[in-house]
Chains A and B, each alone.
Chain A
Amino acid sequence: MIPERWQCNAVSVLSIHVLGEHMARLNINQLLALILLAFSLGYLWMAYQIPVFPIPRPVDSDAFPKLLGFSLLLLSVFLFFEKTAPAASAEKTEDELQPSGWHRQPKVQVFGTAVGVLAYAFLIEPLGFLLASILLGVGLAYWFGYRQHWINLATVGGIVLALYLLMNKVMGIYLPQGLLPL
């Protein structure tokens, strides 16, 4: 007979051990599943905040969001326990790369592009469509490693100008002018 207290301890030690093992082995799918689970809980919480329509409806505004929230909750649980295929191909690529500088690191490249797009969103109105688009286009091509500056400027400039003229002059869609008088 094992003393009760001892047994209890053993169980808890065991469970901690299992949990620890599990945490260590948490694969990317399970991590994503946990994120989706948290997201679906937040989504559901918001679904319960949707006000009731004063005139009774057979199905009110909140029903479909609740259904979607619970479905995602369920699916994220499935995803957690799903057997995963061998690791995603993304990791393999990093070995092939021999970056020639910090800015050539793929992740830095993506990050820089995202920053560029964000900057464009905020600068398109003050700078105007033409200037902002040419800056972004030429800048990104340079960032991606293109060094033929004149061809870069001519191509991007030509295409942006053509788009601008087509939209502004031909189709009557009015794009912000900004600093340039055109």
Chain B
Amino acid sequence: MESLSNLIYGFSIALDPVNLMYVFIGVFAGTLIGMLPGLGPISALALMIPITFNLNPATGLILMAGVYYGAIFGGSTSSILLNAPGVAGTVATSFDGYPMAQKGMAGKALAIAAYASFVGGTVSIIGLMLIAPLLSKVAVSFGPAEYFSLMVLGLTAVVSLSDKSLTKGLIAAIVGMMISIIGIDLQTGTERYTFGSIELIEGIDFLVVALGVFALAEVFFMLLRNSNKPQKRNEIGSLKLTGAEVKEIAAPIGRSSILGFFTGVLPGAGATIGSFLGYSMEKRLAKDGDTFGKGNIKGVAAPESANNAACGGSFVPLLTLGVPGSGTTAVLLGALLVMGVTPGPMMLEQRPDVFWGVIASMYIGNIFLLVLNLPLIPYIARILDAPRPLLLSLILIFCMVGVYGLSFSSFDLVLLLVFGLIGLVMRLYGFPAAPLILGLILGALMEESMRRALQISGGDWSTFLDKPISLTLLVIALLSLTLPLIKKGWQKARR
């Protein structure tokens, strides 16, 4: 009851015409930025800070939050249409979204992404509203040992992500981890695998690899396969979902939204890991799990609801503890501090207008996003109608601009090409790209948290088993590895 009156109070702030306008500007700008490969929410937010200085803190945060979840919402578009993920959180969406678009179901894929994002976003706002203070305890309960175990659990997804050959999937994952540790090691300050190159000190940006092995490799692959076949017209297909389809994706969306929200609550995990976990969870649960990666609608619904829910979840540690869980929320924290608002345990009492105003604005923003995006889908999907040579050329341009905009470094453009060629080789010889991306996301985080945990425990490995959360995660990881094998063995035995 109390949260209801708080929410009404929040809506009284969010429905203020000025705030309403800023929600709209925020989500609109966010979607647009999210659609372009390379331009992520961090850069968009950092650049938006000067605008917010002149705003009242509630309005400022409403605007910035809008940009943030708008960008995650919009990021799926280029993943689905071009196989070029716009933001890191939507890489998993391309696994099934792009095959759907190729099968002439681009409209449906985009519509599912929009609905799933909407549900994920809304679920996370409800969670944020009802149990945020409680969840802050969950967020801090994750120390280095717990993170290590979470990363291990995340890595077990390699098994479900490598379809034909497990060996090849594991090789891809190892190579991904090898890429992830390039650069300066935080624990000792030592350079690793930089070959003395200045450009590699900072490591290799995630999106350079993702755009290379997905988008660039796809362009190369298309050139190799049918460069002078007569072009067949790309179908966009209907946006409408059948009743059966709605039924099919309802449960995955629900599960992934909740999973995504909790992943988002954990500092450092966030939308990317959430979407991968959601995807691999649904792939394992689904009866038709083997069609994942070939255009299964659940393969779009799961990661999209998870990454949007994670985005909402990431506001929990920010608003209740005053600690940022990701680069994006760190920018939000910086902006709030400069506007004179100190997020943290005291914020609910000191600035209820900011807290409840932002939460209410998120409900409105999510509705805006849905009604804004759905009618636009047929027009955006037109890009697939472009003559194929022109389309391929445009995909390349988008990738190059995105990568250059990340770091302003020509070196990264060369890296993009290298990863494009690696991706092509992988594609031709049956190495799955998804485990490489997973290894890339989790590898460095896993190593870092393992070493932190061991240094705290004085080199005692039992620390991973002594902590209940860590132990639970490891047991789940072990089960998720062994259960499918046991099941297979059992089925074989029965036959």
Contact = CB atoms under 8 A, between A and B. Distances in A.
| Chains A, B in direct contact (C-beta < 8 Å) | yes
B170 A57 contact: no
A141 interface: yes
Given A28-B429, A85-B430, A113-B220, A155 B390 contact: yes
A48 interface: no
Interface in B220-245: 220, 223-229
Contact of B178 (A68, A109, A144): A68
Contacts of A88: 428-430
Interface string B173-197: 0110110010001011010110000
Interface string B398-439: 001100110010110110110011001000111000000000
A88 B428 CA distance: 7
Interface stretch (A6-14, A17-25, A119-127): A119-127
Given A68-B174, A110-B223, A133-B401, A117 B167 contact: no
Given A64-B450, A106-B225, 16 more contacts: A53-B190, A58-B455, A59-B450, A75-B174, A82-B165, A88-B430, A118-B417, A136-B396, A136-B400, A137-B394, A137-B396, A145-B228, A146-B387, A156-B397, A171-B44, A173-B43
Contact of A65 (B36, B168, B192): B192
A140 interface: yes
B208 to A, nearest CB: 12
Nearest to A163: B401
Interface residues on B, range: 35 or more
Q: Which of B36, B164, B227, B417 has the most CB of A within 10 A?
A: B227
Contacts of A16: none
8 contacts: A68-B181, A78-B167, A93-B225, A109-B223, A117-B216, A136-B397, A145-B389, A156-B390
A160 to B, nearest CB: 7
Contacts of A177: none
B468 interface: no
Q: Which of A138, A142, A166, A173 has the most CB of B within 10 A?
A: A173
Interface size class of A (residues with CB under 8 A): 35 or more
B286 interface: no
Contact of B188 (A53, A98, A100, A138): A53
A122 B411 CA distance: 9
A159 B397 contact: yes
A110 B387 CA distance: 18
A156 B398 CA distance: 11
A88 B459 CA distance: 47
A46 B47 CA distance: 40
A133 B410 contact: no
B174 A72 contact: yes
Interface of A: 28-29, 32, 36, 43, 46, 50-51, 53, 57-61, 64-65, 68, 71-72, 75-76, 78-79, 82, 85, 88, 90, 93, 96-100, 104, 106-107, 109-110, 113-114, 117-118, 120-122, 124-125, 129, 133, 136-138, 140-142, 144-146, 148, 151-152, 155-156, 159-160, 163, 166-167, 171-173, 175
Nearest to A104: B228
Interface of B: 32-33, 36, 39, 43-44, 47, 164-165, 167-168, 170-171, 174-175, 177-178, 181, 185, 187-188, 190, 192-193, 216, 219-220, 223-229, 386-390, 392-394, 396-397, 400-401, 404-405, 408, 410-411, 413-414, 416-417, 420-421, 424, 428-430, 447, 450-451, 454-455, 457-459
Contact of A58 (B229, B401, B454): B454
A57 B224 contact: no
A144 B227 contact: yes
Contacts of A104: 227-228
Contacts of B171: 36, 72, 75-76, 79
A46 B397 contact: no
A146 B389 contact: yes
Contacts of A99: 228
A42 to B, nearest CB: 11
Contacts of B192: 50, 61, 65
